[in-house]
Structure 1
């Protein structure tokens, strides 16, 4: 039996699902892309290739091995993108919650059925159909669950809006002892620098009391200011629009002291090291072209 426990973003990682770039299929047509950044790279002829992405993911697997983390991988589906494991499910406390994601991506959850089969069935939660949520929008943080959402009436028109208000309500009902705090995110189907696809594209807690933030990712300034006050201005690394576009907030914590980051995030990595973090630097720039990075491609199952 696989014991689950995740109560925050940074406690010592014991077990994780890491996506795979193997057999991820041909370059999609521009009109089939799920986000504006992927579309931009398709049109520019710079969309990432499997041969370049596989070594990037294996570099992350090697870091996990170094820190004795148990790693699960999806079963390979031929010609199918299975990189972003965070989207398809997430763990809070001892509950494994299946996401209701874009219908085209249903097969991704089937590819980790061998993991789900090891979990107590009572702890596997399937949400009602009207609840839309992806793991990139959900962050447990002690007594809080931070959730990125979009509540505009034009929600159905945004393929980039992945988590709705019903999800906020459902999570609060599932975890009555926690405070579910939602944040309205800025969405764009066409301009990647104005699109916060998920909460972890513009915010991420690190260590025990610090955070990476991008102000323009938030639609409501008061909600952004709440986070600034919660962590304290001196504990926040504010990233620029270009840094958000390059996914600087989408790094991944192995523990409160150790962070996996992209090797080109020079300004961020320097700041992290100055603050005393150990930064395990990996190449991930090709995967970043699909508007996802390290947090997006990992799904923690157990943290100490």
Structure 2
């Protein structure tokens, strides 16, 4: 049986995806990334004073429903465009695990490159448990003879889906303070061999977790970018791409974190009307969706989805 896993770029017609879930949310403890300069003052206040008081507790239902509503609307659009949708298994934190749990951002615990499903290695301890929710899906693909690659837990390698942007024959890997590292990038190159060239891209803002929080590829040598968040100049051949550039506010609101459904259709946040007009000028049909609550947790449509198969 030939595996149906196939991801060679970010913009072929999306056919199958893992979409995050938000059955229950658990409040984390404070983490250093929230105190970096990129975090707004209100988020720094919440994480320094509220999280330590409430850590480990289940988030109130009114808040959980906000995330559920946004994911449900995104799912409807995916289904309407003929995408087959999977979800992680909803899990609960275990007593020996660090506080906090959110399973909305399915992009990071696992990722697909070419015909391989790779189990990510997450650096922030609170997020490491998310991989447990993916195990049943991994087993299903394994039974279908998919190529499953696992990073050893104690390897010191970190590789997260939000940092990995595929555009064969190149794979770009964001290198930052709190997520993927150079060792993870080299491991991915070893796995892919001569199938693709893995190109590290350094994040210069330590408060940005992943590459797709400041850059996304949306077509053949086309993308959306916040240049000030990345190394200058961009590494070859990324420096030859044509980009729509966003400002600081749009970047902070996860404006680069879009999801391409097919070469002509793209999902973006409703509030980014200037970006919508730029994309329409490039010939895209835009599907605008309210995703404000996810963006407040520094994620949006790409973060919430792990593509399994694109044409």
Name the TM-score, length of structure 2 as normaliser. 0.83
Equivalent residue for 2:180? 163
CA contact 2:109–2:134 (8 Å) conserved in 1:
no
1:105 shift after superposition: 2.5
- CA separation of 1:226/1:214 partners in 2, compared to 1, >3 Å: closer, same or farther? farther
Q: What SS does the corresponding residue of 1:253 show, helix, strand or coil?
A: strand
Residue 232 of structure 2, aligned match among 215, 221, 227: 221
* 2:244 corresponds to 1:230: no
Cα distance change on mapping 1:71 and 1:205 into 2, 3 Å: same
2:118 matches 1:118: no
2:158 is aligned, of 132, 141, 144, to 132
In the alignment, structure 1 residue 49 sits paired with structure 2 residue 63: yes
The structure 2 residue matched to 1:70, chosen from 56, 75, 84, is 84
Deviates more, 1:33-42 or 1:166-175: 33-42
Residue pair 1:38, 1:291 contacting (<8 A) in 2 also: no
In the TM superposition, 1:184-263 aligns within 5 A as: 184-188=202-206, 195-218=207-230, 220-223=231-234, 227=238, 229-231=239-241, 235-263=242-270
Deviations 1:79-128 (A, max 9, x none): 73101111101000111111111333333122122211121366111113
- 1:250 aligned counterpart, secondary structure: coil
The whole-number CA distance in structure 1 between the counterparts of 2:189 and 2:236 is 22
- 2:20 maps to 19
Would you say the 8 A contact 1:6–1:300 is kept in 2? Answer: yes
Determine if contact 2:34/2:43 at 8 Å carries over to the other structure. no
What root-mean-square deviation, in Å, do the aligned CA atoms of Structure 1 and Structure 2 show? 2.3
Give the 5 Å matches for 1:259-298. Answer: 259-298=266-305
- Match for residue 189 of structure 2 among 163, 169, 172: 172
Q: What stretches of structure 2 of length at least 5 have no aligned partner?
A: 51-58, 94-100
After TM superposition, the score normalised by the length of structure 1 is: 0.85
State the shift of 1:42 in Å: 6.9
Question: Following superposition, which runs of at least 4 residues in structure 1 exceed 6 angstroms of deviation?
Answer: none
- SS class of match (2:137): helix
Structure 1 residues without counterparts, runs of 5 or longer: 151-157, 189-194
> Shift of residue 278 of structure 1?
1.0
For residue 7 of structure 2, what is the aligned residue in structure 1? 6
**Alignment partner of 2:11: what SS?**
coil
Structure 2 vs 1, CA of residues 17 and 60 (structure 1 numbering), >3 Å: closer, same or farther? Answer: same
Which stretch shifts more, 196-205 or 103-112? 103-112
* Alpha-carbon distance, 1:38 to partner: 8.6
Q: Distance in 1 between matches of 2:256 and 2:69?
A: 22
